[in-house]
Amino acid sequence: MSGLRAFLDPRSIAVIGASDNPHKIGGRPIHYLGKFGFKGAVYPINPSRPEIQGRRSYGSLADLPEAPDLAIVAVAGDTAVSTVEDCAARGVKAVVVMASGFGEVDPVAGKAKEQRMTAAARQAGMRIVGPNTQGLANFGSGTIVSFSTLFTEFDRAGGHVAMLSQSGALSTAPVSFLLRKGIGVRHCHATGNDCDVSVGELACAVAEDPEVKLLLLYLESIPDARHLEQLAAIARERDLPIIALKSGRSVAGQRAAQSHTGALANEDRVVDAFLAHHGIWRAPDIRGLVEASELYLKGWQPTGRRLVAVSNSGAVCVLTADAASEVGMPMAELAPHIDQQLKAILPSFATAANPIDLTAAMLSNDRLFGEILPVLAADPGADAFVIGLPVLGQGYDIAGIAEDSAALARQTGKPVLMASTQPAIARQFAERGIAVFPTEVEAVTALHQFVAHRELMAKAAARRTSSRGEAPRQPAAQAMVMLNEADSLALLAQHGLAVVPHRLCRSPSEVAAAVAAIGTPVVVKGCSADIAHKSELGLVRLNVGDEAAACQAFAAMEAIIRAQGARFDGVIVAAMAQGRRELMIGAHRDPVFGPVVVVGDGGKYVEVLRDTALLLPPFGSDEVNEALHSLRIAPLFAGVRGEPAMDTEALARAVVAIGRLMIAQADVMSVDLNPVLINDAGAGVVVVDAVVFRAAEQVRAD
């Protein structure tokens, strides 16, 4: 385990501000350390009492027989700061500062106090979790240094799930659901203001606990992605699934986050792309964070998405098929010999097609379920099973059906889920190890998450070059300069992109030569590193038919540019490029996540109609193709109404090239190619217009 071991598995713990009352902040951890079996030494510190909750109390840190590995600071405000300084001086390895009233209430004075604490800690090699933290809970070692009330409700929590969050409520609310569902939790940590140890860094330490089989995160803001990248690398190594609930998806949510923690707003689509890139599943809400947990703990290695559904209700069959369709899981097509075997068993009025409707026949044949399931188990096309028994009662051999379902799970090693509206029925299945859900929709949704997440993890693992640790971020206040269009096109050509045939002309004679070389009609565009929007100023003329018109355009554009007080870099004479559709490729550097590449439908309305997909470099053609498939215009690529397919291979190569450019050239801040014209398969793509921004210093250095 890393240097954060003292937080997770300390040999000794001091509680500064200890209380005899187990319901006070300084009392509850002492109670929990006893309740959950912490094996090390516990030192309550409270000068006014000789004994705290039956343990010997000490007057001060100095009185302790040893420097404790971990100290809880449960004293308030300014005292907390000096206490942290005392801890650093005493040789404490780690402190958990529960006191609030720091950066979260006052971004100036409060932050300054946090900095005093971190300065003292850093000097002494001590680490801080907090301030303003509800605390940490490792049920593996019994290290419950938390004042959450939740753990009063449960006697044991040990299991394989870890939950981490800055927020106290959002560390315990998901755990509250999990414990109520009977799913054991090993870690439940709230890190508070993250003045030193961040939730991401702590998660790295937790991910190294071999007993952790599923790691859950709540994130309100990602001010620095590096620890999450490191976490993802550790998780990939261990095949450990991570699910993150990142809030602040909406403007209203970001505003709320900012007002209560001063959180930096991340660009939400980039967060999506970042998490996906690293194989981390993004949950939409608390339920999504915990709902599928059980499936991750079964040891299943999903083989695909093809679903077999069995129910005693035809309506549930229909609803299951609808739900599966909604999430992109096809109903398995049963093998002919399986179908025949089913038809031999099922009475005439049951449906042998998948989903399999057993009708009320189950009521008259107790063994029907037990006969059907082994047949289905043998089907090679089945990847997972959902058993829907919405309402059962007297007349059904429920224990027998549950036993048959458990046998199916054992026999196949494949996911078997069950849906029942009746908790008493569901319990009989749960007791036999079946994952139970109230309805088939919830079962299918959870199953889809599990399978799709496993697919995402496999992709992230296959992506050998996925580390973005070195991919340059954009400094927050980076000064930038725009290249003129000729320089932009030259840079792109240098990186292997096909750009429209063109010449930069600085005189009418150069224009004449260019027209002769390129052939009419041509496009004439004014070129200036000071002007981004050419069309609006009359600096783009299409379909220029001859040399004279081109020279006239040169003169007119020079006048316009000079009238703007802008540099006149010449005019570009370019071929009239043809294409089937206008697409766009863009790239920029996110201050947190580094380079981001965008590809999508192009043209004038790209920002309004936004049909684009994001990719984080480095990535390959396969990932671009997947991104292209996610676009609304995707069906057009294959060609519709008799049209030939478009050259998505060339498009993918161009997008990959932009990804490489963003990695290779740290000084390129943004790239905006619109339109990129795509042609028939084999005929390539061509960049027609380009705007590149570079870091100001770099350009000067050129």
Site for a second copy in 138-157 (CB under 8 A): 148-150, 152-153
Q: Report the C-alpha gap between 13 and 96 in whole angstroms.
A: 10
Window contacting a second copy (CB under 8 A); options: 254-262, 496-504, 523-531, 673-681 = 254-262
Q: How far apart are CA 379 and CA 540, in angstroms?
A: 63
CA atoms within 13 A on the CB side of 130: 32
Q: Nearest approach, Cβ of 263 to a second copy (angstroms)?
A: 8
Q: Which stretch binds a second copy (CB under 8 A): 40-48, 245-253, 333-341, 453-461?
A: 245-253
262 in contact with a second copy (CB under 8 A): no
97 interacts with a second copy by CB under 8 A? no
Determine, following the binding rule CB under 8 A, whether residue 645 of this chain makes contact with a second copy: no
Q: Is position 312 an interface residue for a second copy (rule: CB under 8 A)?
A: yes
| Among 62, 109, 378, 391, contact with a second copy (rule: CB under 8 A) | 391
433-472 binders of a second copy (CB under 8 A): 438-439, 441-442
- In this structure, are strands 594-601 and 612-615 parallel, antiparallel, or unpaired? antiparallel
Shortest CB 344 distance to a second copy, Å: 17
φ, ψ dihedrals at 17, nearest 5°: 95, 35
* Cβ proximity to a second copy, 40 vs 381, nearer residue: 381
Find the DSSP H helices in 579-633: 606-609, 621-629
Nearer to a second copy by Cβ, of 611 and 626: the residue is: 611
In 143-164, which positions are buried (b, 16+ CB within 10 angstroms) versus exposed (e)? bbbbbbebbeebeebebbbbbb
Contact with a second copy (CB under 8 A): which of 12, 141, 261, 293? 261
Enumerate residues 519-558 that contact a second copy by CB under 8 A. Answer: 536
Residues numbered 395 to 414 that lie near a second copy (CB under 8 A) are 395
| 12 versus 311: smaller Cβ distance to a second copy | 311
Site string for a second copy, 201-220 (x = CB under 8 A): -----------------x-x
Q: At 302, which helix (H) or strand (E)?
A: none
Does position 252 bind a second copy by CB under 8 A? yes
Kindly identify the residues of this chain, within the stretch 489-518, that bind a second copy according to CB under 8 A.
none
Phi then psi for residue 580, to 5 deg, are -80, -35
Q: What is the DSSP letter of 646?
A: B
| Binding positions for a second copy, 579-638, rule CB under 8 A | 604-605, 608-609, 632-633, 635-636
Q: Which of 58, 69, 75, 113 is nearest to 95 (CA)?
A: 69
DSSP 393: -
Contact 96, 129 (CB under 8 A): yes
Which residue type, as a one-letter code, is found at position 654? A
In the range 13-42, which residues lie near a second copy by CB under 8 A? 23
What is the spatial distance between Cα 368 and Cα 356, in angstroms, rounded to a whole number? 12
Q: Does 78 bind a second copy (CB under 8 A)?
A: no
In this structure, what are the phi and psi dihedrals at residue 690, rounded to the nearest 5 degrees? Answer: -150, 140
Among 62, 112, 353, 516, interactor with a second copy by CB under 8 A: 353
Contact by Cβ (8 Å): 358, 350: yes
Stretch that binds a second copy, among 11-19, 305-313, 588-596, 687-695 (CB under 8 A): 305-313
Cβ distance to a second copy smaller for residue 150 or 483? 150
CA separation for the pair 698, 702 (Å, rounded): 6
Which residue in 19, 138, 176, 474 binds a second copy (CB under 8 A)?
Answer: 176
